Amino acid sequence: MEAEYGTILLASGQPKTVEEGQKTMSKGRYIILAVLCGTVALAVGVIIGWFSKSSLTEEDRVALDKFRALVRGADETVGNTIMDEIDSERIRENLRELTKKPHMAGTAPDHEMAELIRQTWLDNGLDEARLVPYDFLLSYPPMGEMGPNNTAVTVDGTDFEFEDTRTAHIEPELQGDPDAPQFFYAFSPPGNPVGELVFANYGRPQDFEYLEKNASINCTGKIAIVKYGREGRGTKATNAAAVGAVGIIIYPDPADVNVPGGQVYPDGWFLPGTGVERGSTLSDPGEPLTPGYPATDYAYRKPLGDVDVFPPIPILPISYNDAQEYLLRLSGEEVPSGWNGSLPITYRLGPGFTDDWAAREVRINVYTNTTIQRVYNVIGMIKGRVEPDRYVMFGNHYDAWVQGAIDDTSSTAISLELTRVMGNLLKEEKWRPRRSVVFAAWGAEEFGLFGSMEYVEQYAKLLGERLVTYVNMDVGVAGSYVTLRYIERCLAVLNSNGRYYFFTLLLHPYILQTHFRWYSLI
């Protein structure tokens, strides 16, 4: 017992026994003497060191420089230098060049753009830039010439009484590119359902409940027409299928997407009556066949039939001009409070039509093709001077449904200019960031944040240790507005519970400049 106690004390540097402790106490005077001697020795050392500093070896000098760099504060002037050098005319030129062709993810022009970004980053002076390949399940409309895939009112199921005007263009030279994909919703199942039309507000569960319970409309076998918003596209289809609907049409009501009195394009920037949305029906981000792990070429893929993320019934977008043709002829009760949009008609519930369209049904023709396609993320890097293993990341997606002048080629145009300016500072040896700056151009964002999500699934551990911050740009430019509401969840990280969460710090150069001292991070 004694011995053990003594041993433990010894381990913590205390006297072994009481007697030894008393001896130690009596050594107090020696300690004072030792401290005095030490101080004198240190002073002599410093003096010797001072006079012999010119004899520092090369190695010492390198070490000393590194140490000084480590303790130096951020160079705040570099932020202003970068901002001053950014040339809006060059961003405009980049945008013009990048929007020449439609570049939907997985198509040849999409691959050309990935390579163009990589090459430009290298030419601009980034230390490295590479393509990271994935194979994603994507969903395409019939390609090439605009086919007759549409919504229509049929007579005897064959002759068309009315077809939606999905090829109507305000700017034929700009919108009429034969390679522009048809209006479609990605991952809609293909099909040609036919049924009476019912108006179901936003297609939420409570909307269908109202139709079935309050208005006593049996939705089984019907086609639902709903307004855009309040609920995801795929979710609207799931809700409609739950009450037996066989197809669903979504249109953007001006009450939801425009403002009263706001001029529509080309007189203003609000949505014109011919505007049709393209979009994805997936509600969870990430590639559907490889949930939770990266969609590399060697990855196991779940069979398509085992994946439960696609809408159960065909779903198709139309314009509000076309929606008006359907809605103004609907029969049945007037809509309840809160369901009215702002088209110049009386909104009714249906089911079915009145007058010249009485007894006619609506048909939806959806021809989607689901296929696995190669898609790239482009990842570039400026190596950090002091902490190369800490990453400050800038990202945006480069894919677009069509040319994507706003969403999100505008951000690609900005990213190219930002790398030019930073690259020049590197080339002129005026600056190298303290931490590594990583640039990302994400692929296949429009289909459901595939590029960024799979990247995080692949590098979650590395990013968890090294990523200091991530700055996302999406819809970098829209009209003459700072588009604060377009914050997009583009990068996901694993949190401590093993669940993904998403974060975005900022998105617009104006915000970069005024609200966030981002340069203090690089």
Q: Do the beta carbons of residue 239 and residue 224 sit within 8 Å?
A: no
In the complex with ligand NAG, which residue's Cβ is closer, 80 or 371?
A: 371
Tokens of 462: 């590395």
How do the residues of the chain divide into helix, strand and coil, expressed in percent and rounded to 5?
A: 35, 20, 45
CA distance 184 to 250: 11
Question: What's the start-to-end Cα distance of the chain, in Å?
Answer: 59
Rounded to the nearest whole angstrom, what is the least distance from the CB of residue 140 to ligand NAG in the complex? 6
Residue-level length of the chain? 522
Q: Does 162 bind ligand NAG (CB under 6 A)?
A: no
Q: Which residues are catalytic?
A: 445
Nearer to ligand NAG, 14 or 346 (CB): 346
* Alpha helix segments (H runs only) across 366-485: 409-427, 450-466
Using CB under 6 A as the binding rule, whether residue 202 contacts ligand NAG is answered as no
Contact window for ligand NAG (CB under 6 A) among 97-105, 139-147, 387-395, 442-450: 139-147
Residue 149 interacting with ligand NAG (CB under 6 A) = yes
Size of the site for ligand NAG (CB under 6 A): 20
Exposure of 151 by Cβ count < 10 A (0-12 exposed, 13-18 middle, 19+ buried)? buried
> Using the rule CB under 6 A, is 495 a contact of ligand NAG?
no
Which amino acid would we find at residue 171?
E
Least distance to ligand NAG, CB of residue 293, Å: 24
Q: Tell me if 220 contacts ligand NAG by CB under 6 A.
A: yes
Q: What are phi and psi of 277, to 5 degrees?
A: -90, 140
Q: Does 304 bind ligand NAG (CB under 6 A)?
A: no
Extract the tokens encoding 460: 């979650």
**Residue nearer to ligand NAG on the CB measure, 260 or 498:** 260
Q: Which of positions 335-354 make contact with ligand NAG (CB under 6 A)?
A: 336-337, 340, 346-347
Q: Which of 140, 199, 447, 519 binds ligand NAG (CB under 6 A)?
A: 140
**Phi/psi of residue 94, nearest 5 degrees:** -55, -45
Q: Which stretch binds ligand NAG (CB under 6 A): 117-125, 142-150, 438-446, 474-482?
A: 142-150
216 or 496, CB closer to ligand NAG?
Answer: 216
Question: What gap in Å lies between CA 283 and CA 303, rounded to an integer?
Answer: 19
Separation of alpha carbons 103 and 124, rounded Å:
23
Which among 14-22, 30-38, 77-85, 141-149 is the span making contact with ligand NAG, rule CB under 6 A? Answer: 141-149
Strands (E) in 289-330, as ranges, are: 315-317
Instruction: Verify binding: residue 371, ligand NAG, rule CB under 6 A.
Output: yes
Assess 148 for contact with ligand NAG (CB under 6 A).
yes
Distance CA 285, CA 490 (A): 9
Of the candidate spans 8-16, 361-369, 396-404, 437-445, the one that interacts with ligand NAG by CB under 6 A turns out to be 361-369
Of 76-84, 235-243, 365-373, 423-431, the segment contacting ligand NAG by CB under 6 A is 365-373
| Contact call for residue 486 and ligand NAG (CB under 6 A) | no
| Helices 409-427, 88-98: crossing angle, 10 deg rounding | 130
Indicate the residue among 55 and 337 with the shorter CB distance to ligand NAG: 337
Instruction: Return the beta strands (E) in 369-520 as ranges.
Output: 369-382, 387-397, 435-442, 467-472, 492-494, 500-502
Cα–Cα distance between 336 and 342 in angstroms, integer? 14
Interaction of residue 160 with ligand NAG, rule CB under 6 A: no
Element holding 236 (H helix, E strand): helix 233-242
Stretch of 20-28, 144-152, 160-168, 436-444 contacting ligand NAG, by CB under 6 A: 144-152
C-beta of 144: minimal distance to ligand NAG in Å? 7
Q: Any idea of the CA torsion for 286, 290, 291, 292, to the nearest 10 degrees?
A: -90
Cβ atoms of 431 and 75 closer than 8 Å:
yes
What φ, ψ does residue 252 adopt, rounded to 5°?
Answer: -85, 110
Closer by beta carbon to ligand NAG, 164 or else 488: 164
Residue in 188, 365, 396, 410 binding ligand NAG, rule: CB under 6 A: 365
Q: Please identify which residue in the block is written with the tokens 């993810």.
A: 105
Cβ closer to ligand NAG: 107 or 238? 107
Residue 208, interface with ligand NAG (CB under 6 A)? no
Query: Is residue 45 near ligand NAG by the rule CB under 6 A?
Result: no
Interacting residues toward ligand NAG by CB under 6 A: 140, 142, 147-149, 210, 213-214, 218, 220-221, 336-337, 340, 346-347, 365, 367, 369, 371
